[in-house]
Structure 1
Amino acid sequence: MDPHDPMLGRVLDGRYRIESRIARGGMAAVYRAHDLRLERTVAVKVMHPGMGEDPTFVERFVREARAAARLTHPNVVAVHDQGDDHGTLFLAMEYVPGRTLRDVVREHAPMTPAAAVAQVEPIVQALAAAHRAGVVHRDVKPENVLMARSAPGEPERPKVADFGLARAVNTATQYTATGVVIGSVSYLAPEVMSTGRVDERVDVYAVGVVLFELLTGRKPHEGESPMQIAYAHVNTDVPSPSSLVAGIPDYVDALVLRACARDVEVRPSDASVLLQHLRRVGLALTQGVASDPELVEDLLPRRQYVRPERPAQAHAPVEMTTVVGTGLTAAGTGAAAAPTEHTSVLSVSGTGTGTGTGTGTHSYPTDTLTPDAGHSGAGGGSGEASPTFDDHLQALDASQGQRRRRRGGPVTLVVALVLALAVGGGAWWFGMGRYVETPGVVSLTSAEAVETITGAGMVPVEGEAVFSDEVAAGVVVSTDPGPGEQILRGGQVTYVVSRGPEEYELPDLTGKTLDEASAVLRQFKLDVGEEKETYHEVVEKGRIISTAPDAGTVLHAGKAVDLVISKGRKPIKVSDQTGKDADKAAASFAKAGLEVKTSKEFSDTVDKGKVIRQTPTSGTLYRGDTVTLVVSDGPEMITVPNLRSSGVADATAKLEALGFKVVTKKATIYLGLQYVAGTNPGGGKKAPKGSTITLEIV
């Protein structure tokens, strides 16, 4: 990755912060980015500077974005957003870390028929949804199928990517306005290369090739050059998988041959039809059927392929530029780069010269992509009578010793031989003569990579190390140019070493606000998980109480951290307990966390043990605050003095001084002496203060 890439660190549309480059192509580059609004990782496809100034490119880019955005399917890489940031056009997409179907082919093919069909079915479901939306993918291949996991340990689920090269179609066939046909040669349908015809059936053909590759571990047509591969697709039927691998049922052969029929008219009309065939085959495999002649009869192509008529010499010449590249899995995931598919650009432009740019392919949505940096080559052609595509095929026939008689006799033969010599000489000078292949050093240690690159006559340059979940620290993750790519002799090869998994120690976030904690987590490439609010008597409202997991835990980048946020002190509603049992009131307040202070008073009106008054009587308090209760001790009891033989006036004065009320009555034997004969209650007994004492007078 180029540390000087001006896009790194930039925030597009005030929302997408560019973090690292995943891959690049002729028209755009793909970056890993962080969606600041929704706090998630996304992949952002950015058109190269200057592209936005070309109305044709802008129109195509926007059209692709709208077409891709219409596709909502679990097996399609989702398109989230499209925008223009001061002239920088971009497309925000779902970020899918992990490997590609190419890695699955490399590791597990040949597969059992049941496993191969199960692997292809989600891809066909995705294409069926695209075809229903009027979108043809045009570049189906293992590199463009990402293997996603919903969670660690869950099974992988294919997701089709790179609808960026797809075109919305409104008719059965459509030829591009510029006459450019883009795709990987091993998966291109014959009619694309021979007539330029493009409809849903080119995707059906490509899926058939992918299924063949899963079943056999190899492509149906191989050659030393893209031209030879293209020639084979146009002129030779795809062989039965069982001719290479024993044990494949006849109806599985029939399905592959039907999908890969060179005659486009007998091929399934779109992915929905292919899906029906695929499910019939899958059911037969599930039931353990070894042979099904009836199903074979239904599936086998019934029409003989007829090669299209060769265009007349008066037609515009065909310029063919071949681009040979290598693919990578998604950067940052740790999956090793490996040589992948040749990608060709066949241009029917009518010029006599041709140039080409060598790039690599990548699994993320962009046009032909390479990892971070690429190289370019140029091919010169004669400005006079440039050969048609069919002429190239005829020349290839001659070079392989397949002699054919044509009109023109010796003259035609001479022209063909001259053309073959010219093509061969040009190929040597612009290919083998000046260039060599980059050695494969992925999965080697840094020291081993340096030794290998140096031994191949190139200059090793250590790039910026990257994190990787799959590749151990100190081991090479990728190179630029990629393994097998052409490079000038003595050129530089940048190798990128793994830093191991991207992990960070969770810092202590307690006491921080939610915004402060979120900012810290972003710095450590961690996400905010569940936010739970609770009352806390110490931590201020709006600040972090705790995290899950705890501070100090080592977490993988992208891991979500749950936050517990303080709602402040818990409010306690105070209720009035006046006149109620004091013990119960005190227990209730104490249980709520309040301090309770009590005092007692005599009361003639409130029963003993009940609350006379309370402070406060209502409102809101917090844990540790105080409630004061004044509890009744009942009426005050006073001892009645012994007043026997006292004068009435003196006795009355003494009782009133003690707080009693006094009444008098004549004793049974009344003599008029005005002395106290006795009291009621009697002397020495207790009576409530304020109660009435009766004096008996003699």
Structure 2
Amino acid sequence: MHSVLAGRYRLERQLGKGGMGSVWLAEHLALRSWVAVKLMDPAIAATPEGAERFRREAMAAASLRSAHVVQVLDYGVHETTPYLVMELLNGESLAGCLEREKRLAPERTVAIMTQVARALGRAHGAGIVHRDLKPDNIFLVREDDQELVKILDFGIAKTPSSTFGGMETKTGVTMGTPYYMSPEQVEGKKAVDFRTDLWAMAVITCECMTGVRPFDGSTYGELLLNICARPIAPPSSQGFMLRGFDEWFAKATNREAEQRFASAQELVSALRDVVAGTAGVALSGQPAYFPSGTGQGAAPSVSSVSTSQALDELRRSTKPSPLPWILLGVVLLLGGVGALVVLLRQKPTRAAPAPEMSAPAVASPLPAASASGEVALAPATPEASSREPTEPPAKPLATSKAPATRESAAPVTPTTAGPTAAQRCYRDPFSGQVRPTSSAAPGGASTFGCKQDPFTGKYKRL
């Protein structure tokens, strides 16, 4: 294509294409010099908002006399197509540099952001807010051994109405590239000021040093949620360790705009101290940390997105956290266990139950002795064995009937029948001891076979 634009710019070839239009390499026929010409997309130029935005870009960039802002040489409308003539830059965008090198050294990042701060300082001083600062709009020009930084594309810049006129941004309309937008910009607030550019500077700085974007998401709603609601992950969560950088990033991306740095120069000055290791005062305003997505897909350029649509997406992406309910359940469980332990410790000791008394039985007469002198005893029945307590009770308990009186409390002496002679015995209901029937068993007491221990003199049940 070798069309002549406005009678003085011959278009050679297309250099790039964006959401607003295309950029061409062109020759100024009168001056015999090469320039860059930006042509607005005809569909956008047909709308009053699009044409006005293009005009404001030309006026905003032309009003900023800075070595770090692309110089605007001419502006006009050819037939129905608005065009913008700019100086031709030889180099690459920061986005292209990051795509090739993945990450930059901290010292080089500081050098780039220092020049960005100079350009933004000039713009903010004139009441101009860029609102679409991103690596694609930061151009790196190599001049001998120096790297010169230029800021491009003031197409959606917010400018003072009294100076540039035109249309104001409507409340509820989101403008910018979402990965680098501040929370107030995402929410479509009308009162967006220069501090939204400071947020974008911090995000770009983090991306340069860590190689990943600090705010990302698989959906647009998730991205907005990470920017506006979820805790912000520190750069160290990406494995980048630089003392003081987490705190610097936390202050620069504070969701409360008034808690951020006061100017672009203050932001980059604090960054320079962090990189040099001379940061003295701890930075405040650090939010809670939460790792967010770190995908490296191409940044979608969103020029106008309804806030209601974004909030609907945000609500669909929001899931209530089960953690508070889990913690509540644990607390209630521990409290219940503690109360049970206290109750068990305070429960009074119950008295031991009284031993079950067997029914009175008639004592059987002693069996007759055999010719050898041994006494034949009938074995005790199982019912009788089960009714007898195996151990004496710890303490005799009173019964409804009056107990039989004890005839003697004196210890029983061994009988002359010999230590191995079998006898009939009964259990003393008061002491629980086994006594022979020869020591006057109480009436009604059941008897059983027993022998006397030759060493202790005590009787034991057979």
TM-score (norm 2): 0.61
> Which residue of structure 1 aligns with residue 447 of structure 2?
none
Offset, 1:77? 1.3
> Which residue of structure 1 aligns with residue 408 of structure 2?
none
Specify which of 340, 343, 350 is matched with residue 298 of structure 2. 340
Change (3 A) 1:285 1:403: closer
**Could you report, residue by residue, the CA deviation over 1:18-65 in whole angstroms, capped at 9, with x for unpaired residues?**
111123344422211111222221111112336555444333322221
> Which residue of structure 1 aligns with residue 239 of structure 2?
245
Indicate the SS of the match to 1:295.
coil
**Could you report, residue by residue, the CA deviation over 1:240-275 in whole angstroms, capped at 9, with x for unpaired residues?**
22333353011x322222211111221234xxx231
> Which residue of structure 1 aligns with residue 67 of structure 2?
74
> Which residue of structure 1 aligns with residue 281 of structure 2?
295
Aligned partner letter, 1:164: G
Distance 2:49 2:224 in 1: 29
**Could you report, residue by residue, the CA deviation over 1:53-105 in whole angstroms, capped at 9, with x for unpaired residues?**
54443333222211111112111111111012233321101121322112332
Distance 1:36 1:236 in 2: 55
**Could you report, residue by residue, the CA deviation over 1:379-399 in whole angstroms, capped at 9, with x for unpaired residues?**
xxxxxxxx653332221124x
Alignment of 1:268-347 (within 5 A): 268-269=261-262, 273-283=263-273, 285-286=275-276, 288-289=277-278, 292=279, 294-296=280-282, 299-301=283-285, 340-347=298-305
Distance 2:4 2:182 in 1: 41
Offset, 1:186? 1.1
Indicate the SS of the match to 1:136.
coil
Alignment of 1:14-413 (within 5 A): 14-49=7-42, 52=45, 54-151=47-144, 154-169=145-160, 176-177=169-170, 180-197=173-190, 198-250=192-244, 252-269=245-262, 273-283=263-273, 285-286=275-276, 288-289=277-278, 292=279, 294-296=280-282, 299-301=283-285, 340-348=298-306, 388-398=309-319, 402=321
Alignment of 1:350-499 (within 5 A): 388-398=309-319, 402=321
Distance 2:40 2:171 in 1: 19
Contact 1:122 1:158 in 2 (8 A): yes
Offset, 1:168? 0.9
Offset, 1:189? 0.6
Distance 1:126 1:102 in 2: 18
Offset, 1:195? 4.0
Contact 1:193 1:346 in 2 (8 A): no
Contact 1:187 1:205 in 2 (8 A): yes
Distance 2:209 2:88 in 1: 29
Indicate the SS of the match to 2:64.
coil
Contact 1:209 1:220 in 2 (8 A): yes
Distance 2:235 2:38 in 1: 37
Offset, 1:175? 6.2
Distance 1:195 1:404 in 2: 31
Unaligned runs of 5+ in 1: 1-7, 306-337, 350-386, 406-698
Larger Cα-atom Rg = 2
Offset, 1:211? 0.7
Distance 1:245 1:392 in 2: 31
TM-score (norm 1): 0.41
Change (3 A) 1:149 1:49: same
Indicate the SS of the match to 1:167.
coil
> Which residue of structure 2 aligns with residue 643 of structure 1?
none
Offset, 1:220? 1.0
Indicate the SS of the match to 1:265.
helix
> Which residue of structure 1 aligns with residue 448 of structure 2?
none
Indicate the SS of the match to 1:149.
strand
> Which residue of structure 1 aligns with residue 404 of structure 2?
none
Indicate the SS of the match to 2:119.
helix
Answer 1 or 2: higher relative contact order, Cα 8 Å, separation at least 6: 2
Change (3 A) 1:280 1:50: closer
Aligned partner letter, 1:264: A
Alignment of 1:550-629 (within 5 A): none
Offset, 1:15? 1.3
Structure having the larger proportion of residues in strand: 1
Contact 1:80 1:94 in 2 (8 A): yes
Aligned partner letter, 1:209: V
Contact 1:140 1:187 in 2 (8 A): yes
Change (3 A) 1:29 1:403: farther
Distance 2:58 2:67 in 1: 18
Moved more, 58-67 or 181-190: 58-67
Change (3 A) 1:36 1:9: same
Offset, 1:277? 3.5
CA RMSD of aligned residues (A): 3.0
Unaligned runs of 5+ in 2: 290-295, 325-462
Q: How many residues align?
A: 313
**Could you report, residue by residue, the CA deviation over 1:548-576 in whole angstroms, capped at 9, with x for unpaired residues?**
xxxxxxxxxxxxxxxxxxxxxxxxxxxxx
